[in-house]
């Protein structure tokens, strides 16, 4: 099992499940959250190497989630997901965005580039 822990935050259960299963299948340790409170609970309970957060999450957005998780774990890396063609995220290299819909191969390529392959 990989020592790399990824926190997936998406309020769409189908997307959260798909992303989590792809990452687990590649050997990553994965925790899933649907909102800010759940994301904070995970970050308070274990080391998170990568935050993979949806941009639009209802009352909060991906930047709110990132700010909260970084407040707990300042070294966490972030990859945003968005179904919008022109997200306001991703304009700087510090805010990479994975545009939905995406294939499993693209997800793994982007994650591997940020944290290294779980199977390496």
Give the pLDDT score at 93.
43
* 79 phi/psi in degrees, rounded to 5: -130, 125
β-strands 60-61, 97-99: how paired? Answer: unpaired
Give the pLDDT score at 11.
92
Give the pLDDT score at 92.
47
Q: Which residues lie closer than 8 Å to 53 by C-beta, 6 or more apart?
A: 7, 8, 9, 10, 39, 62, 65, 66, 78, 79, 80, 81
Give the pLDDT score at 116.
83
Per-residue pLDDT of 58-88, as tens digits, reads: 888 888 999 999 999 999 999 999 887 555 5
| Mean pLDDT per 10-residue section of the chain, whose length is 120 residues | 88 95 96 96 97 90 93 95 64 66 94 82
């Amino acid at each position: 099992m990989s020592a790399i822990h990824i926190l997936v935050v998406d309020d769409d259960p189908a997307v959260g499940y798909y992303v989590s299963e792809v990452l687990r299948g590649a050997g990553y340790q994965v925790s899933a959250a649907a909102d800010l409170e759940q994301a904070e609970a995970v970050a308070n309970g274990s080391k998170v190497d990568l935050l993979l957060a949806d941009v639009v999450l209802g009352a909060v957005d991906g930047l709110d989630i990132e700010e909260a998780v970084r407040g707990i774990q300042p070294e966490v890396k972030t990859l945003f997901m968005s179904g919008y063609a022109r997200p306001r995220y991703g304009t700087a290299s510090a805010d990479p965005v994975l545009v939905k819909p995406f294939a499993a191969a693209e997800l793994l390529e982007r994650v591997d580039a940020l944290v290294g392959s779980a199977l390496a």
